[in-house]
Amino acid sequence: MRASTATSKSILLEYIIKRRWLGNGLLILVGLFAVYRLAVELINNPILFFQQVINGLQLGFVYALIALGYTMVYGIVRLINFAHGDVFMVGAFISFYGVTRLQLHTWVSSVFPSFPPVAAQIIGAVTVVLLAMVTCSVLAFTIERVAYKPLRNAPRISALITAIGVSFFLEYFGALSFVFSPNFITYKRPFDVTTWYLNKGGIASLQSGQAIPPGSVIFSNIFVIIVISSILLMLALQYIVRNTKVGKAMRAAAYDKPTARLMGINVDGIISVTFGIGAAFAGAAGMLYAIAFPQVFFWMGIIPGLKAFVAAVLGGIGSIPGAFVGALIMGQAEVLSAAYISTPMRDAIAFSILIIVLLIRPTGIFGEPTREKA
Amino acid sequence: MMLQVEDLHVYYGAIKALKGINFHLEKGEIVALIGANGAGKTTTLNTLSGILRARQGKIHFLGEDISQTPAEEIVRKGIIHVPEGRKIFATLSVMENLEIGAYTVTDKGQIARNIEMVFNRFPRLKERQNQLGGTLSGGEQQMLAIARGLMTNPSLILLDEPSMGLAPVIVEQIFEIIQEINDQGTSVLLVEQNAQMALSIADRAYVFETGMVTLEDEAHKLLENPLVIEAYLGGH
Ligand SMILES: Nc1ncnc2c1ncn2[C@@H]1O[C@H](COP(=O)(O)OP(=O)(O)OP(=O)(O)O)[C@@H](O)[C@H]1O
Ligand SMILES: [Mg+2]
């Protein structure tokens, strides 16, 4: 009896997996329902809806920066680098210390007091983010050399388990009181927050203590900074990957490592560069995330890291545009489900997306069918 | 002597693929390596280019032992390996494949001249320069593989079965090009199943059998050797 239920279940599952149209049909139904629900909400309260979209964009851009690292590393070494979320955490902490201990965000005005204050603040914040990016790159470079490179020819599962080990190492090493901290720490932003409200009457800044005028959506300079810096970083990445010699070598090595070596490419070096770039982006994301949600904690990388991973899978792991699109979808899915279903539903929806994608379209939106390569 | 291989032993795990290979190549020569499937020809080229490591034996290139040199350094010494099955980077455009071929060339002007040179030799590639490598036909891919190999102005080019899977007309064309490349001063080590074609353009040749060299001679003599005719030229 039990056995027969089990088989009939597995037959059903197999049917669903094999018959793409059935899976896709289900997905379309769920999707249509979601669109319908959202349309109703949009009509009922467009202001709330647009507010959520803005919040979702802010989150989505941060996820995109993290997801790029997952997808680039996967593209070249076929490894899901589960320590990537913790590199993001390290980036957040480094920027925290850059601001609180080193006062890096104010160096321009203390060295050149006559410098225009806004420009000085921007240069200061950029210095902090660069520090976080460089530190994370060096960290990832070291992790790759010490933990992953010796396993390059081992079965893939070995490297995957090692990545989980590295992840725990970074978390609990970071929790030591002489490293980062075992506690939640309030993050000090390297600039003051300004908020604007936008409504039919136009755009104006919101004074402190002022109530939000009805019928307006609000956004802050944090939103502007996150969107602009993420777009700039992604354009830079696009340029590196498409147009530079290193980027072409990365793509060649991702496709076929032995042949890349026959072209004179130092594949190990290119892999290190890939880890380094991915980690730099995670470091920047760590700082941006901490600016948006001003708190740092040694576990803070786990959930954003996992969600960025889902975003990378949703977009098609290995695909850079996929990571970007997947992350924006994840940002919206999370914020909209928190707003219209319930806050805890946010994470449930995020990981349900992972399961649905893996069942129905494991290659994601932009992914090509898997092609195993050495 | 440009290339001298002495007592080369290569293993895949416990499987012995090369059991003490000896051969050499003089500057300016075309030397062919012929033999049945699994004889060890590809293994030999992969060892020369540093993709595989010899367990025993020496490889002297221009007087220097390169048997322990990594693949990416061997390219810089002037040996280019055009691998079996072409191995075009399918996700890169034709132009990008050529640029990757010139990865070790630092002089931008030299790269531009080399691109010009291969486009003159392979006008088809010029027409298709923006197309992805994976969308080319088999013959075009072989041309791209050779063109990509020429981007470093190599002194020695290792060609692994350039005729594989191509129509006879295209094979003729490819062999003419190999002859031209050689006329312009590049030495050629040519691995071929198509022994007839290989022997017709080679100066000398070595016959491989199960990881050993069983016969070596000038190519035109091998074309008349009864053993070779029997085994590799369709026996009449
Ligand atoms: N990656 C590998 N692992 C194990 N054995 C291998 C591997 N590659 C080749 N071999 C074995 O080594 C021997 C030589 O193979 P090789 O590819 O060098 O032959 P070949 O002369 O190039 O043949 P073909 O004309 O079919 O290309 C064969 O017996 C083959 O099975
Ligand atoms: Mg072969």
Interface confidence, given as ipTM, is 0.94
User: What is the mean pLDDT of the segment spanning B136-153?
Assistant: 95
Residues B166 and A124: their CA atoms lie apart, in Å, by 62
Ligand 1 neighbour B35 (Cβ under 6 A) = yes
Q: Mean of the pLDDT values across residues A132-137?
A: 98
At residue B86, does pLDDT exceed 50? yes
Atom of ligand 1 nearest to the CA of B36: 25
Q: Tokens standing for B64?
A: 């220097």
pLDDT tier for residue A118 given thresholds of 50, 70 and 90: confident
Inter-chain residue contact B89 with A265, CB threshold 8 Å: no
Mutation site, A245, A256, A263, interface B, largest B CB count within 10 A: A263
pLDDT of A24 strictly over 90: no
Domain boundaries along the sequence of chain A: 13-44, 45-360
Residue percentage of chain A with pLDDT more than 70:
92
Nearest CA to ligand 1 atom 29: B38
Assess whether the C-beta atom of B130 lies below 6 angstroms from ligand 1. Answer: no
**Does the structure show a pLDDT above 90 at A23?**
no
DSSP run (H or E) holding A334: helix A320-340
The tens digit of pLDDT for each residue in A291-317 reads: 999 999 999 999 999 999 999 999 999
Q: What is the 3-state secondary structure (H, E, C) of B137-170?
A: CHHHHHHHHHHHHHCCCCCEEEEECCCCCCCHHH
DSSP letters for chain B? --EEEEEEEEEETTEEEEEEEEEEE-TT-EEEEEE-TTSSHHHHHHHHTTSS--SEEEEEETTEE-TTS-HHHHHHTTEEEE-TT----TTSBHHHHHHHHTTT---HHHHHHHHHHHHHH-HHHHHTTTSBGGGS-HHHHHHHHHHHHHTT--SEEEEE-TTTT--HHHHHHHHHHHHHHHHTT-EEEEEES-HHHHHHH-SEEEEEETTEEEEEEEHHHHHH-HHHHHHHS---
- What confidence category does residue A358 fall into, taking pLDDT thresholds of 50, 70 and 90? confident
CA separation for the pair A346, A354 (Å, rounded): 13
Tell me whether residues A245 and B99 touch, CB distance under 8 A.
yes
Q: How confident is the model at residue A372 (pLDDT cuts 50, 70, 90)?
A: very low
Chain A interface disruption, residue of B42, B100, B107, most A CBs within 10 A: B100
H helices of A101-210, in order, are 107-111, 117-143, 156-175
CB B17 less than 6 A from any atom of ligand 1: yes
d(CA B99, CA B144): 11
Residue B43 CA: nearest ligand 1 atom is: 18
Which pLDDT value is given to residue A12?
Answer: 67
Q: Rounded mean pLDDT of B165-190?
A: 94
A174-195 pLDDT tens trace:
999 899 999 999 999 988 889 9
Q: Is the pLDDT of residue B234 over 80?
A: no
B47 lines ligand 1 (CB under 6 A): no
- Identify the weakest region by mean pLDDT among A259-273, A356-370, B55-69: A356-370
User: Is the pLDDT score of A10 beyond 80?
Assistant: no
pLDDT band at A136 (very low <50, low <70, confident <90, very high): very high
Q: Which fold has domain A45-360?
A: ABC transporter involved in vitamin B12 uptake, BtuC (1.10.3470)
Which domains does chain B possess? Answer: 3-232 (3.40.50.300)
Which two three-digit tokens encode residue B10? 């290569």
Ligand 1 in reach of B193 Cβ (< 6 A)? yes
A16: confidence class by pLDDT, cuts 50, 70, 90? low
Strand order in the sheet with B56-61: B15-25, B3-12, B56-61, B64-65
For residues B212 and B199, give the distance between their C-alpha atoms in angstroms, rounded to a whole number.
19
Q: Chain A contacts of B48, Cβ < 8 Å?
A: none
Q: What is the token pair recorded at B79?
A: 């040996």
Q: What is the pLDDT of residue A373?
A: 41
Q: Please answer yes or no on whether B89 and A264 come within 8 Å at the CB atom.
A: no
How would residue A368 be classed by pLDDT, with cut points 50, 70 and 90? low
Please say if the pLDDT value at position B36 is more than 70: yes
What is the rounded CA–CA span in Å between residue B21 and residue B5?
7
- From the list B17, B87, B28, B80, the residue with the least C-alpha distance to B50 is B80
Q: Do A263 and B87 touch (CB under 8 A)?
A: no
Question: Is the CB of A265 less than 8 angstroms away from the CB of B91?
Answer: no
Chain B residues in contact with A256 (beta carbon < 8 A)? 87, 89
More confident residue, A10 or B69: B69
pLDDT digits (tens, 9 = 90+) for A138-179: 999 999 999 999 999 899 999 999 999 999 999 999 999 899
Residue A2 clears pLDDT 70, i.e. is over it: no
- Comparison of pLDDT for B110 and B165, the residue scoring more: B110
Over residues A51-94, the pLDDT tens digits come to 999 999 999 999 999 999 999 999 999 999 999 999 999 999 99
Best residue among B11, B18, B33, B37 to mutate for probing ligand 1, ranked by most atoms within 8 Å of CB:
B37
